[in-house]
Amino acid sequence: MQQTWITKKAAPQYEADYLEVKEETSIVHTVEELSLQLSSILELEVSETSIYLNLLRLGQITASSLSRELDIDRTKVYRTIERLLSKGLVSTTFSYPKLCVATNPKDVLDLILKRKENEITRIKKYGQEIIEQSNKISTTSYSSTPTFHIVQGTLNIFSYIEKLIEDSTNVVYIVTSLKYIAQMYHANILDKIKICERNGGQVRLLTEINDNRLKLYIDRLKATETRTGKLSSNGIIVVSKDKQMVMSDATINPACNPSVKTESALCTNSHELVNNIFTLCTLLWKNSHPLKMLKNNMVKKNNEQ
């Protein structure tokens, strides 16, 4: 009887502890997701956006306390804080010891937006003049000769992918991992898919997913049709029938700034190469499963358990 009384008495505390741990786990998961998203938008390393978001979560705190809280090397935290200070994402107090304070997210985004607007204004101002002057000295004959080139840097690769999708009036295959899909959502891929569809094309997205919770990333991209299957690479293939192809076998390193030239991709308009890869993607597509079918199978499996 005594044991039963103790168990019943302690049950509310156990439940409270469980809910607290569950809430903390949810917060950590949210920080991880936002870190990846912000690294793309703000062109920062994921480690920097992670520190920034945790400062928002924890409030004013010393760098050493933040290091202990996140279980990250103190030197690394200090260096990251210094970079964030120089970029205006973090400030410090006059007190001793100094407390780190995260800048208001709205102010951060306004700062980045203003910087981008200034860049666009500068390009528009001088771009046309540069084109006109360049055409005067150019002797190059632009033809349909098959060519290829290597593009470096994730942002540059996405720019080529955006143009490929936008210019297509036929089927476009995107075969890639969830890491690339998460990055694509924060580029202009979604808008380019809409343009492709308005021009009579369609975008078929093929990826591999083992956790239905990650389905959110896939849905956000809003491809014409999405399927899942086994992929042998964590890279990316984007190919438009009879036109162009962008292919990379590299994976995005979460610790890298997307603007840093660590990623490489082959871009080509070679009719033979493009059609060979398009045929391969078509075969992978036929052997894959619709995303809805995957969801139903997961629900059925969970019910059985």
Q: Residue 27 has what pLDDT?
A: 56
Q: Residue 26 has what pLDDT?
A: 56
- Rounded to whole angstroms, the Cα distance separating 253 from 159 reads 18
Return the CATH number of the domain spanning residue range 14-104: 1.10.10.10
User: What is the average pLDDT value for the chain, to the nearest integer?
Assistant: 78
Residue 239: pLDDT band with limits 50, 70, 90 = very high
Q: Residue 65 has what pLDDT?
A: 93
CATH number for 146-304: choose from 2.40.30.10, 3.40.50.620, 3.30.870.10, 3.50.50.60: 3.30.870.10
Residue 47: pLDDT band with limits 50, 70, 90 = confident
Give the residue-averaged pLDDT of 24-29.
56
DSSP characters over 245-291: EEEE-----TTS-TTSTT-EEEEE--HHHHHHHHHHHHHHHHTSEEH
| CB 200 within 8 Å of CB 282 | no
Q: Residue 194 has what pLDDT?
A: 92
Per-residue pLDDT tens over the stretch 76-90: 999 999 999 988 889
Which distant-in-sequence residues (6+ apart) come within 8 Å of 232 by Cβ?
none
Buried b (16+ CB within 10 A) or exposed e, 50-75: bbbbbbeeeeebbbebbbeeeebeee
Per-residue pLDDT tens over the stretch 143-201: 667 888 888 887 788 889 999 999 999 999 999 887 777 777 667 888 899 999 999 99
pTM: 0.57
Sign, CA dihedral 119-122-128-134, equals negative
Q: Residue 18 has what pLDDT?
A: 42
Domain spans of the chain? 14-104, 146-304
